[in-house]
């Protein structure tokens, strides 16, 4: 062992430049290898931060799930036809390119045997004052009637009462999914459950991250708590925060980062956030 140490000392004295350059060279090769996989890293300091990460935070829709939605269940109040409910929701979402909107329009198209939002009747439907409320849904005038299509928070904001029988049906429903509530002239019409499948590689991703030393995985979503809990349970995610607006997600991530910087905190690891949307 004595001779090994002497050899190392000789190496340091004789070629320090080679040893010094090995550090930036390792960063350079890491950035190059990542870019070949389609991953862009801004610089070497971010590789160092990444190596210290112990918490991974994920958006749900389109990140852990496929983001390909389909109408799964329809709960219409008494006297309202299911097809009519979907038609109203689809027209309300006419101008939106959100995946949920696309699934409603597709369902309306299929239920009308190919005569969906592109036919003459739908084009003649008068659509005015469309407002997309971030994290809530859509507010629009359809043929002179005020239509709301969105989540429970939107109904509460607009003082629309959801009938107890609809709430009971939704609570007893085992299918995970996003619930779109529909109201017309402040009268509740029904709810539509739109489901999204988990990506096949999400299971391996979470498992591998834990093997690599990620101590805590967190999921943030605008979906309801029931749907979020089911998805998180399937994936083995440690913590779930549901029914969040975009700004709420920012606050949650900031809280996690702040908790790492608190004096006396044992863990000084960094936080990874993963998302696919514009707001992410």
pTM for the complete prediction? 0.65
Write down the pLDDT at residue 174: 60
| Chain-centre distance for alpha carbon 194 | 14
Does residue 191 surpass a pLDDT of 90? yes
Residue with tokens 């003082």: 159
Is 143 in the active site? Answer: no
Least confident of 81-90, 242-251, 259-268: 259-268
For 121, counting Cβ atoms within 10 Å of its Cβ (0-12 exposed, 13-18 middle, 19+ buried), the class is: exposed
| Residue 8 CB neighbours (<10 A) | 10
Write down the pLDDT at residue 206: 97
Least confident of 68-72, 75-79, 113-117, 173-177: 113-117
Write down the pLDDT at residue 117: 44
Write down the pLDDT at residue 125: 76
- Candidates 218, 178, 210, 219; CA nearest to 60 is 219
pLDDT tens digit sequence for 130-172:
888 888 889 999 888 999 999 999 999 999 999 988 888 887 7
The helix or strand, by DSSP H or E, that contains position 86, with its residue range, turns out to be: helix 82-92
- SS3 for 121-185, per residue? HHHCCCEEEEEEECCCEEEEEECCEEEEEECHHHHHHCCCCCCHHHHHHHHHCCCCCEEEEEEEC
Catalytic residue from among 54, 59, 81, 248? 59
pLDDT tens digit sequence for 7-25:
989 888 888 887 788 888 8
Q: How far apart are CA 202 and CA 273, in angstroms?
A: 15
Does residue 203 surpass a pLDDT of 90? yes
């Amino acid at each position: 062992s004595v001779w090994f140490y002497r050899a190392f000392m000789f190496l340091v004295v004789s070629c320090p430049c080679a040893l010094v350059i090995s550090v930036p060279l390792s960063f350079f090769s890491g950035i190059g290898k990542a870019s070949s996989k389609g991953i862009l890293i801004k610089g070497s300091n971010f590789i160092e931060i990444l190596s210290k990460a112990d918490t991974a935070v994920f958006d749900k829709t389109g990140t852990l799930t496929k983001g390909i939605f389909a109408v799964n269940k329809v709960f219409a109040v008494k006297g309202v036809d299911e097809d009519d409910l979907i038609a109203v929701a689809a027209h309300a979402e006419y101008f939106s390119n959100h995946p949920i909107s696309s699934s409603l329009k597709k369902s309306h198209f299929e239920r009308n045997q190919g005569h969906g939002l592109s036919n003459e009747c739908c084009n003649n439907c008068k659509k005015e004052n469309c407002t997309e409320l971030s994290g809530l849904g859509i507010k629009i005038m359809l043929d002179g009637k005020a239509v709301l299509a969105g989540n429970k928070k939107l109904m509460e904001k607009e003082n629309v009462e959801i009938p107890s029988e609809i709430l009971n049906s939704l609570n007893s429903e085992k299918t995970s999914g996003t619930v779109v509530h529909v109201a017309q002239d402040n009268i509740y019409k029904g709810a539509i459950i739109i489901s999204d499948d988990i990506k096949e590689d999400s299971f391996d991703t979470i498992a591998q991250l834990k093997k690599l030393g990620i101590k805590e995985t967190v999921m943030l979503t605008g979906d309801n708590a029931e749907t979020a809990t089911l998805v998180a349970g399937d994936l083995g995610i440690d913590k779930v925060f549901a029914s969040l607006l975009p700004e709420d997600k920012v606050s949650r991530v900031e809280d996690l980062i702040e908790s790492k910087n608190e004096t006396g905190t044992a863990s000084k690891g960094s936080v990874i956030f993963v998302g696919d949307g514009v707001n992410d």
